[in-house]
Protein backbone atom coordinates (compact mmCIF):
# COMPACT_ATOMS: atom_id res chain seq x y z
CA UNK A 1 0.00 0.00 0.00
CA UNK A 2 3.03 2.25 -0.10
CA UNK A 3 2.18 5.61 -1.56
CA UNK A 4 -1.58 5.38 -1.09
CA UNK A 5 -3.58 7.55 1.26
CA UNK A 6 -5.35 4.39 2.51
CA UNK A 7 -6.04 0.83 1.44
CA UNK A 8 -9.33 1.78 -0.26
CA UNK A 9 -7.33 3.07 -3.22
CA UNK A 10 -6.18 -0.47 -4.04
CA UNK A 11 -9.57 -2.09 -3.52
CA UNK A 12 -10.72 -4.83 -5.85
CA UNK A 13 -12.92 -3.07 -8.48
CA UNK A 14 -15.81 -5.47 -7.92
CA UNK A 15 -15.65 -4.85 -4.20
CA UNK A 16 -15.68 -1.11 -4.88
CA UNK A 17 -18.71 -1.40 -7.17
CA UNK A 18 -20.63 -3.30 -4.48
CA UNK A 19 -19.63 -0.73 -1.87
CA UNK A 20 -20.78 2.10 -4.13
CA UNK A 21 -24.13 0.42 -4.72
CA UNK A 22 -24.59 0.19 -0.95
CA UNK A 23 -23.62 3.87 -0.52
CA UNK A 24 -26.10 4.97 -3.21
CA UNK A 25 -28.92 2.99 -1.55
CA UNK A 26 -28.07 4.36 1.90
CA UNK A 27 -27.90 7.95 0.69
CA UNK A 28 -31.23 7.69 -1.17
CA UNK A 29 -32.97 6.22 1.84
CA UNK A 30 -31.44 8.67 4.29
CA UNK A 31 -32.12 11.66 2.01
CA UNK A 32 -35.74 10.63 1.58
CA UNK A 33 -36.17 10.59 5.34
CA UNK A 34 -34.21 13.73 6.19
CA UNK A 35 -34.17 16.17 3.26
CA UNK A 36 -37.58 17.52 2.16
CA UNK A 37 -36.27 18.73 -1.22
CA UNK A 38 -34.84 15.32 -2.04
CA UNK A 39 -38.04 13.61 -0.89
CA UNK A 40 -40.12 15.94 -3.09
CA UNK A 41 -37.84 15.18 -6.04
CA UNK A 42 -38.38 11.42 -5.69
CA UNK A 43 -42.11 11.77 -5.09
CA UNK A 44 -42.41 13.98 -8.17
CA UNK A 45 -40.84 11.16 -10.19
CA UNK A 46 -43.01 8.50 -8.53
CA UNK A 47 -39.93 6.75 -7.15
CA UNK A 48 -39.73 5.10 -3.75
CA UNK A 49 -36.32 5.33 -2.05
CA UNK A 50 -36.07 1.54 -2.46
CA UNK A 51 -36.08 2.20 -6.22
CA UNK A 52 -32.56 3.66 -5.91
CA UNK A 53 -30.53 0.66 -4.82
CA UNK A 54 -27.53 0.65 -7.14
CA UNK A 55 -25.29 3.07 -8.98
CA UNK A 56 -27.11 2.16 -12.19
CA UNK A 57 -30.42 3.24 -10.60
CA UNK A 58 -29.10 6.79 -10.44
CA UNK A 59 -30.11 7.16 -14.09
CA UNK A 60 -33.69 7.37 -12.84
CA UNK A 61 -32.84 10.73 -11.25
CA UNK A 62 -32.34 13.98 -13.15
CA UNK A 63 -28.92 15.60 -13.37
CA UNK A 64 -28.88 18.73 -11.22
CA UNK A 65 -26.82 21.47 -12.79
CA UNK A 66 -25.46 24.50 -10.96
CA UNK A 67 -28.19 26.59 -12.60
CA UNK A 68 -30.85 24.14 -11.47
CA UNK A 69 -29.42 24.20 -7.95
CA UNK A 70 -29.70 28.00 -7.94
CA UNK A 71 -33.37 27.71 -8.93
CA UNK A 72 -34.01 25.11 -6.22
CA UNK A 73 -32.34 27.31 -3.61
CA UNK A 74 -34.33 30.36 -4.67
CA UNK A 75 -37.53 28.31 -4.36
CA UNK A 76 -36.52 26.84 -1.02
CA UNK A 77 -33.75 28.82 0.68
CA UNK A 78 -31.06 28.33 1.61
CA UNK A 79 -30.22 24.78 0.44
CA UNK A 80 -33.09 23.86 -1.86
CA UNK A 81 -34.34 21.40 0.75
CA UNK A 82 -31.34 19.13 0.11
CA UNK A 83 -29.72 19.45 3.54
CA UNK A 84 -30.60 16.82 6.08
CA UNK A 85 -32.76 18.41 8.77
CA UNK A 86 -30.62 17.10 11.63
CA UNK A 87 -27.23 17.74 10.02
CA UNK A 88 -24.79 19.78 12.07
CA UNK A 89 -23.10 22.18 9.67
CA UNK A 90 -19.91 23.87 10.79
CA UNK A 91 -19.55 26.25 7.82
CA UNK A 92 -21.46 27.54 4.85
CA UNK A 93 -19.69 28.28 1.59
CA UNK A 94 -20.91 30.52 -1.19
CA UNK A 95 -20.33 30.00 -4.91
CA UNK A 96 -21.21 32.38 -7.71
CA UNK A 97 -24.84 31.98 -8.63
CA UNK A 98 -25.20 32.38 -5.70
CA UNK A 99 -25.18 28.79 -4.50
CA UNK A 100 -25.06 28.02 -0.78
CA UNK A 101 -23.26 24.84 0.21
CA UNK A 102 -23.12 23.34 3.68
CA UNK A 103 -19.58 22.14 4.38
CA UNK A 104 -19.86 18.37 4.64
CA UNK A 105 -17.70 17.72 7.67
CA UNK A 106 -14.62 18.92 9.47
CA UNK A 107 -13.22 15.41 9.50
CA UNK A 108 -13.92 14.23 5.98
CA UNK A 109 -10.35 14.63 4.69
CA UNK A 110 -11.50 16.46 1.58
CA UNK A 111 -8.60 16.72 -0.91
CA UNK A 112 -6.32 14.56 1.23
CA UNK A 113 -6.11 11.77 -1.38
CA UNK A 114 -5.23 14.33 -4.02
CA UNK A 115 -2.46 16.04 -2.06
CA UNK A 116 -1.15 12.70 -0.87
CA UNK A 117 -0.92 11.42 -4.45
CA UNK A 118 0.92 14.63 -5.35
CA UNK A 119 3.53 13.77 -2.72
CA UNK A 120 2.76 16.30 0.01
CA UNK A 121 3.86 15.05 3.41
CA UNK A 122 4.88 16.15 6.90
CA UNK A 123 7.82 18.51 6.57
CA UNK A 124 6.39 20.28 3.53
CA UNK A 125 5.49 23.95 3.90
CA UNK A 126 2.85 24.94 1.36
CA UNK A 127 1.46 28.29 0.25
CA UNK A 128 -2.28 27.94 -0.30
CA UNK A 129 -3.11 30.74 -2.72
CA UNK A 130 -6.80 29.95 -3.00
CA UNK A 131 -9.21 32.44 -1.51
CA UNK A 132 -10.31 31.83 2.08
CA UNK A 133 -13.13 34.36 1.71
CA UNK A 134 -16.63 32.90 1.36
CA UNK A 135 -15.69 30.20 -1.17
CA UNK A 136 -14.79 26.65 -0.20
CA UNK A 137 -11.40 26.50 -1.88
CA UNK A 138 -9.13 28.07 0.74
CA UNK A 139 -10.36 26.20 3.80
CA UNK A 140 -11.01 22.81 2.20
CA UNK A 141 -7.66 22.72 0.39
CA UNK A 142 -6.05 23.81 3.65
CA UNK A 143 -7.69 20.85 5.39
CA UNK A 144 -6.51 18.42 2.73
CA UNK A 145 -2.92 19.57 3.06
CA UNK A 146 -3.11 19.24 6.84
CA UNK A 147 -4.47 15.71 6.48
CA UNK A 148 -1.21 14.87 4.68
CA UNK A 149 0.83 16.42 7.48
CA UNK A 150 1.97 19.48 5.54
CA UNK A 151 2.30 22.91 7.15
CA UNK A 152 0.10 25.46 5.40
CA UNK A 153 0.80 29.14 4.82
CA UNK A 154 -2.68 30.63 4.23
CA UNK A 155 -1.42 33.25 1.80
CA UNK A 156 -4.75 33.34 -0.03
CA UNK A 157 -5.15 36.01 -2.64
CA UNK A 158 -2.18 38.12 -1.49
CA UNK A 159 -0.30 39.72 -4.35
CA UNK A 160 2.67 38.14 -6.09
CA UNK A 161 5.31 40.13 -4.20
CA UNK A 162 3.95 38.98 -0.85
CA UNK A 163 3.85 35.38 -2.11
CA UNK A 164 7.48 35.60 -3.25
CA UNK A 165 8.54 36.99 0.13
CA UNK A 166 6.70 34.20 1.96
CA UNK A 167 8.24 31.53 -0.26
CA UNK A 168 11.69 33.04 0.37
CA UNK A 169 11.39 33.79 4.09
CA UNK A 170 9.59 30.64 5.28
CA UNK A 171 11.41 28.21 3.02
CA UNK A 172 8.20 27.14 1.30
CA UNK A 173 8.46 23.77 -0.48
CA UNK A 174 5.02 23.55 -2.09
CA UNK A 175 2.39 25.60 -3.88
CA UNK A 176 -1.31 25.13 -4.39
CA UNK A 177 -3.38 27.42 -6.56
CA UNK A 178 -3.92 28.03 -10.24
CA UNK A 179 -1.12 27.49 -12.77
CA UNK A 180 -1.40 31.04 -14.11
CA UNK A 181 -0.88 32.49 -10.63
CA UNK A 182 2.23 30.35 -10.04
CA UNK A 183 3.59 31.63 -13.33
CA UNK A 184 2.89 35.20 -12.20
CA UNK A 185 4.70 34.52 -8.90
CA UNK A 186 7.73 33.10 -10.73
CA UNK A 187 7.83 36.10 -13.07
CA UNK A 188 7.67 38.41 -10.06
CA UNK A 189 10.50 36.52 -8.34
CA UNK A 190 12.61 36.88 -11.47
CA UNK A 191 11.82 40.60 -11.63
CA UNK A 192 13.03 40.82 -8.03
CA UNK A 193 16.32 39.25 -9.11
CA UNK A 194 15.81 35.72 -7.77
CA UNK A 195 16.61 32.41 -9.41
CA UNK A 196 13.87 29.87 -8.66
CA UNK A 197 16.18 26.87 -8.47
CA UNK A 198 19.03 28.57 -6.64
CA UNK A 199 17.23 30.84 -4.20
CA UNK A 200 14.05 28.91 -3.31
CA UNK A 201 13.06 25.47 -2.03
CA UNK A 202 9.79 25.32 -4.01
CA UNK A 203 9.65 21.89 -5.66
CA UNK A 204 6.03 20.75 -5.84
CA UNK A 205 2.80 22.35 -7.06
CA UNK A 206 -0.78 21.18 -7.05
CA UNK A 207 -3.19 22.97 -9.37
CA UNK A 208 -6.96 23.26 -9.46
CA UNK A 209 -9.66 25.45 -10.96
CA UNK A 210 -7.89 26.12 -14.24
CA UNK A 211 -6.65 23.93 -17.10
CA UNK A 212 -2.92 23.17 -17.03
CA UNK A 213 -1.54 23.82 -20.46
CA UNK A 214 1.02 21.13 -21.39
CA UNK A 215 3.58 23.77 -22.38
CA UNK A 216 3.18 25.43 -19.00
CA UNK A 217 3.61 22.09 -17.22
CA UNK A 218 6.84 21.54 -19.12
CA UNK A 219 8.05 25.00 -18.20
CA UNK A 220 7.39 24.46 -14.48
CA UNK A 221 8.93 21.00 -14.43
CA UNK A 222 11.92 21.33 -16.72
CA UNK A 223 12.91 24.93 -16.37
CA UNK A 224 12.05 25.53 -12.73
CA UNK A 225 12.28 22.02 -11.28
CA UNK A 226 8.75 22.11 -9.85
CA UNK A 227 6.79 18.82 -9.94
CA UNK A 228 3.20 19.54 -11.01
CA UNK A 229 -0.07 17.77 -10.28
CA UNK A 230 -3.70 18.50 -11.07
CA UNK A 231 -6.63 18.01 -8.71
CA UNK A 232 -10.29 18.33 -9.59
CA UNK A 233 -13.54 18.92 -7.78
CA UNK A 234 -16.42 21.31 -7.23
CA UNK A 235 -17.67 23.21 -4.21
CA UNK A 236 -21.02 21.43 -4.38
CA UNK A 237 -19.48 17.95 -4.12
CA UNK A 238 -15.95 18.45 -2.78
CA UNK A 239 -12.94 16.62 -4.21
CA UNK A 240 -13.66 14.44 -7.23
CA UNK A 241 -10.44 13.29 -8.90
CA UNK A 242 -6.67 13.71 -8.87
CA UNK A 243 -3.50 12.90 -10.77
CA UNK A 244 -1.07 10.29 -9.54
CA UNK A 245 2.64 10.06 -10.37
CA UNK A 246 1.77 8.57 -13.78
CA UNK A 247 0.08 11.87 -14.76
CA UNK A 248 -2.13 10.04 -17.19
CA UNK A 249 -5.74 10.71 -16.32
CA UNK A 250 -7.26 11.55 -12.96
CA UNK A 251 -8.24 8.94 -10.36
CA UNK A 252 -11.76 9.31 -9.02
CA UNK A 253 -11.86 9.71 -5.22
CA UNK A 254 -13.25 6.84 -3.19
CA UNK A 255 -15.98 8.95 -1.60
CA UNK A 256 -17.66 9.93 -4.85
CA UNK A 257 -19.36 8.23 -7.76
CA UNK A 258 -18.67 9.73 -11.18
CA UNK A 259 -20.93 9.11 -14.15
CA UNK A 260 -20.18 10.35 -17.66
CA UNK A 261 -23.49 11.22 -19.25
CA UNK A 262 -24.96 12.69 -22.39
CA UNK A 263 -25.86 16.23 -21.28
CA UNK A 264 -28.99 16.14 -23.41
CA UNK A 265 -30.46 12.95 -21.93
CA UNK A 266 -28.75 12.44 -18.57
CA UNK A 267 -28.01 8.83 -19.58
CA UNK A 268 -24.55 7.35 -19.36
CA UNK A 269 -22.46 7.50 -22.49
CA UNK A 270 -20.83 4.29 -23.78
CA UNK A 271 -17.49 3.49 -22.09
CA UNK A 272 -14.71 5.76 -23.28
CA UNK A 273 -16.99 8.34 -24.92
CA UNK A 274 -16.99 11.93 -23.78
CA UNK A 275 -19.87 13.31 -21.79
CA UNK A 276 -20.70 15.49 -18.83
CA UNK A 277 -19.05 14.66 -15.51
CA UNK A 278 -21.89 13.98 -13.08
CA UNK A 279 -20.95 13.49 -9.44
CA UNK A 280 -22.64 11.99 -6.43
CA UNK A 281 -20.79 12.44 -3.16
CA UNK A 282 -21.71 9.93 -0.47
CA UNK A 283 -22.52 11.86 2.69
CA UNK A 284 -25.22 12.43 5.27
CA UNK A 285 -25.42 16.23 5.16
CA UNK A 286 -26.22 17.45 1.66
CA UNK A 287 -28.36 15.10 -0.46
CA UNK A 288 -27.30 16.32 -3.85
CA UNK A 289 -27.33 13.21 -6.02
CA UNK A 290 -26.16 13.54 -9.64
CA UNK A 291 -24.62 16.98 -9.60
CA UNK A 292 -23.89 18.02 -13.20
CA UNK A 293 -20.51 19.75 -13.24
CA UNK A 294 -20.89 21.02 -16.80
CA UNK A 295 -17.40 19.66 -17.48
CA UNK A 296 -16.78 17.23 -20.28
CA UNK A 297 -14.61 14.16 -19.79
CA UNK A 298 -14.44 10.46 -20.52
CA UNK A 299 -13.56 7.34 -18.57
CA UNK A 300 -10.17 5.67 -19.01
CA UNK A 301 -10.63 1.97 -18.51
CA UNK A 302 -7.05 0.68 -18.61
CA UNK A 303 -5.45 -0.06 -15.21
CA UNK A 304 -3.02 2.57 -13.94
CA UNK A 305 0.67 1.93 -13.39
CA UNK A 306 0.54 3.45 -9.90
CA UNK A 307 -1.47 0.50 -8.58
CA UNK A 308 -4.63 2.42 -7.71
CA UNK A 309 -7.62 0.48 -8.93
CA UNK A 310 -10.08 3.37 -9.11
CA UNK A 311 -11.66 4.58 -12.31
CA UNK A 312 -9.82 7.39 -14.05
CA UNK A 313 -11.25 10.27 -16.06
CA UNK A 314 -9.36 11.96 -18.87
CA UNK A 315 -9.14 15.43 -17.39
CA UNK A 316 -11.57 18.17 -18.35
CA UNK A 317 -12.09 18.27 -22.09
CA UNK A 318 -14.34 21.30 -22.18
CA UNK A 319 -17.62 22.72 -20.92
CA UNK A 320 -21.03 21.37 -21.75
CA UNK A 321 -23.24 24.16 -20.63
CA UNK A 322 -23.21 27.87 -20.95
CA UNK A 323 -21.57 28.61 -17.64
CA UNK A 324 -17.94 29.44 -18.27
CA UNK A 325 -14.94 29.33 -15.98
CA UNK A 326 -12.69 32.36 -15.98
CA UNK A 327 -9.47 32.18 -13.97
CA UNK A 328 -11.03 29.38 -11.97
CA UNK A 329 -14.32 31.16 -11.27
CA UNK A 330 -17.59 30.36 -12.97
CA UNK A 331 -19.62 32.99 -14.70
CA UNK A 332 -23.16 31.77 -15.10
CA UNK A 333 -25.62 33.17 -17.65
CA UNK A 334 -27.96 33.92 -14.74
CA UNK A 335 -25.42 36.38 -13.36
CA UNK A 336 -25.19 38.22 -16.67
CA UNK A 337 -28.97 38.36 -16.87
CA UNK A 338 -29.10 39.94 -13.44
CA UNK A 339 -26.48 42.43 -14.61
CA UNK A 340 -28.59 43.13 -17.68
CA UNK A 341 -31.49 43.95 -15.39
CA UNK A 342 -29.32 46.68 -13.84
CA UNK A 343 -28.38 48.03 -17.29
CA UNK A 344 -31.49 47.30 -19.35
CA UNK A 345 -30.56 49.85 -22.00
CA UNK A 346 -27.19 48.20 -22.71
CA UNK A 347 -26.75 45.31 -25.11
CA UNK A 348 -23.58 43.45 -24.16
CA UNK A 349 -21.76 40.15 -24.48
CA UNK A 350 -19.02 38.66 -22.27
CA UNK A 351 -16.41 36.58 -24.10
CA UNK A 352 -13.71 34.46 -22.47
CA UNK A 353 -10.57 34.08 -24.51
CA UNK A 354 -6.98 33.15 -23.88
CA UNK A 355 -3.81 35.19 -24.16
CA UNK A 356 -0.66 33.14 -23.61
CA UNK A 357 -1.43 31.15 -20.48
CA UNK A 358 -4.05 33.46 -19.01
CA UNK A 359 -7.79 33.79 -19.43
CA UNK A 360 -8.92 37.11 -20.84
CA UNK A 361 -12.41 38.39 -20.24
CA UNK A 362 -13.66 40.77 -22.90
CA UNK A 363 -16.97 42.59 -22.74
CA UNK A 364 -18.46 43.78 -26.02
CA UNK A 365 -20.94 46.62 -25.82
CA UNK A 366 -23.15 48.09 -28.52
CA UNK A 367 -22.26 51.72 -28.20
CA UNK A 368 -20.35 54.58 -29.72
CA UNK A 369 -16.92 55.60 -28.34
CA UNK A 370 -18.23 58.33 -26.05
CA UNK A 371 -21.03 56.15 -24.71
CA UNK A 372 -18.61 53.32 -23.96
CA UNK A 373 -16.18 55.63 -22.16
CA UNK A 374 -18.97 57.07 -20.05
CA UNK A 375 -20.21 53.63 -19.09
CA UNK A 376 -17.01 51.60 -18.58
CA UNK A 377 -16.19 52.29 -14.93
CA UNK A 378 -19.73 51.88 -13.65
CA UNK A 379 -20.24 48.72 -15.69
CA UNK A 380 -16.89 47.23 -14.60
CA UNK A 381 -17.71 47.74 -10.95
CA UNK A 382 -21.18 46.24 -11.28
CA UNK A 383 -19.75 43.30 -13.24
CA UNK A 384 -17.12 42.64 -10.60
CA UNK A 385 -19.74 42.74 -7.85
CA UNK A 386 -22.12 40.41 -9.66
CA UNK A 387 -19.69 37.95 -11.19
CA UNK A 388 -16.68 38.34 -8.83
CA UNK A 389 -14.48 38.42 -11.94
CA UNK A 390 -12.70 41.45 -13.35
CA UNK A 391 -13.22 42.55 -16.95
CA UNK A 392 -9.87 42.71 -18.79
CA UNK A 393 -10.98 44.78 -21.75
CA UNK A 394 -13.92 46.34 -23.53
CA UNK A 395 -14.74 46.21 -27.21
CA UNK A 396 -17.20 48.34 -29.06
CA UNK A 397 -19.81 46.42 -31.07
CA UNK A 398 -21.82 47.84 -33.97
CA UNK A 399 -25.43 48.66 -33.14
CA UNK A 400 -27.62 45.60 -33.60
CA UNK A 401 -24.67 43.23 -33.98
CA UNK A 402 -25.26 41.53 -30.63
CA UNK A 403 -29.01 41.13 -30.90
CA UNK A 404 -29.82 37.46 -30.62
CA UNK A 405 -26.20 36.63 -29.76
CA UNK A 406 -25.34 34.62 -26.65
CA UNK A 407 -24.74 36.75 -23.59
CA UNK A 408 -21.75 34.62 -22.59
CA UNK A 409 -19.36 32.86 -24.95
CA UNK A 410 -16.26 30.75 -24.39
CA UNK A 411 -13.80 31.45 -27.19
CA UNK A 412 -10.87 29.47 -25.80
CA UNK A 413 -9.63 26.73 -28.06
CA UNK A 414 -8.92 23.43 -26.37
CA UNK A 415 -5.62 21.87 -27.25
User: For residues 85 and 286, is the Cβ–Cβ distance under 8 A?
Assistant: no
Report CA torsion sign: 258, 262, 268, 274.
negative
Q: Which stretch binds Zn ion (CB under 5 A): 156-164, 179-187, 288-296, 300-308?
A: 300-308
Site string for Zn ion, 257-296 (x = CB under 5 A): ----------------------------------------
Helices (H), 281-332: none
- CB environment 173-208: b (16+ within 10 A), e (fewer): bbbbbbbbbbbbbbebbeeeebebeeebebbbbbbb
Site string for Zn ion, 302-341 (x = CB under 5 A): --x-x-x---------------------------------
How near is the Cβ of 319 to Zn ion at its closest, in Å?
Answer: 25
User: For residues 130 and 94, is the Cβ–Cβ distance under 8 A?
Assistant: no
Site string for Zn ion, 51-90 (x = CB under 5 A): ----------------------------------------
E strand or H helix that includes residue 230: strand 227-234
Which of 21/246 has CB closer to Zn ion?
246
Which of 102/249 has CB closer to Zn ion?
249
Which of 57/246 has CB closer to Zn ion?
246
Which of 30/246 has CB closer to Zn ion?
246
Q: Which stretch binds Zn ion (CB under 5 A): 102-110, 301-309, 332-340, 378-386?
A: 301-309
How near is the Cβ of 327 to Zn ion at its closest, in Å?
Answer: 28
**Which 215-244 residues touch Zn ion, going by CB under 5 A?**
244
How near is the Cβ of 229 to Zn ion at its closest, in Å?
Answer: 11
Which of 59/246 has CB closer to Zn ion?
246
| Of 95, 103, 104, 98, the residue nearest 77 (C-alpha) | 98
How near is the Cβ of 246 to Zn ion at its closest, in Å?
Answer: 5
How near is the Cβ of 251 to Zn ion at its closest, in Å?
Answer: 6
How near is the Cβ of 227 to Zn ion at its closest, in Å?
Answer: 15
One DSSP character per residue, 242-282 reads EE-TT-SSEEEPTTEEEEEE-TTT-PBPPTT--EEEEEEE-
Which of 115/383 has CB closer to Zn ion?
115
E strand or H helix that includes residue 355: strand 348-355
Which of 309/386 has CB closer to Zn ion?
309
Does position 246 interact with Zn ion (CB under 5 A)? The reply is: yes
Does position 213 interact with Zn ion (CB under 5 A)? The reply is: no
Does position 113 interact with Zn ion (CB under 5 A)? The reply is: no
How near is the Cβ of 269 to Zn ion at its closest, in Å?
Answer: 23
For the chain, how big is the Rg over CA atoms in Å? 22
Q: Cα–Cα distance between 371 and 368 in angstroms, integer?
A: 5
Which of 241/339 has CB closer to Zn ion?
241
User: For residues 415 and 399, is the Cβ–Cβ distance under 8 A?
Assistant: no
How near is the Cβ of 245 to Zn ion at its closest, in Å?
Answer: 7
User: For residues 295 and 312, is the Cβ–Cβ distance under 8 A?
Assistant: no
Largest CA-CA distance found in the chain, in angstroms, rounded: 67
The β-bridge partners of 351 are 362, 409
Q: Cα–Cα distance between 94 and 382 in angstroms, integer?
A: 19
How near is the Cβ of 234 to Zn ion at its closest, in Å?
Answer: 21
**Which 5-34 residues touch Zn ion, going by CB under 5 A?**
none
Show Cβ contacts of residue 374 under 8 Å, excluding neighbours closer than 6 positions.
none
Which of 248/284 has CB closer to Zn ion?
248
How near is the Cβ of 54 to Zn ion at its closest, in Å?
Answer: 26
Show Cβ contacts of residue 283 under 8 Å, excluding neighbours closer than 6 positions.
27, 104, 105, 108, 255
Which of 83/251 has CB closer to Zn ion?
251
- Footprint on this chain of Zn ion (rule: CB under 5 A): 244, 246, 304, 306, 308
Amino acid sequence: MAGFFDSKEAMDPEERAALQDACVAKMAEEGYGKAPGFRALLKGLGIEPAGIRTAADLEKLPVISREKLVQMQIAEPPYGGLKGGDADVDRVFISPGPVYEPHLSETDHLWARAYHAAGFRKGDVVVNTFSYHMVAAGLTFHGGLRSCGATVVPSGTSGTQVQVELIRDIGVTGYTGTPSFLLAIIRKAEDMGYDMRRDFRLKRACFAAEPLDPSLRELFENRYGIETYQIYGATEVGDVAFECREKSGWHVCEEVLVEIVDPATGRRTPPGEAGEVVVTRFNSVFFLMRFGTGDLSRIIEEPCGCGRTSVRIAGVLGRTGDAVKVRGMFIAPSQLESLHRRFPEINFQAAVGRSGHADVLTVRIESDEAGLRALQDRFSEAFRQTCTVKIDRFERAAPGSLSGAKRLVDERLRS
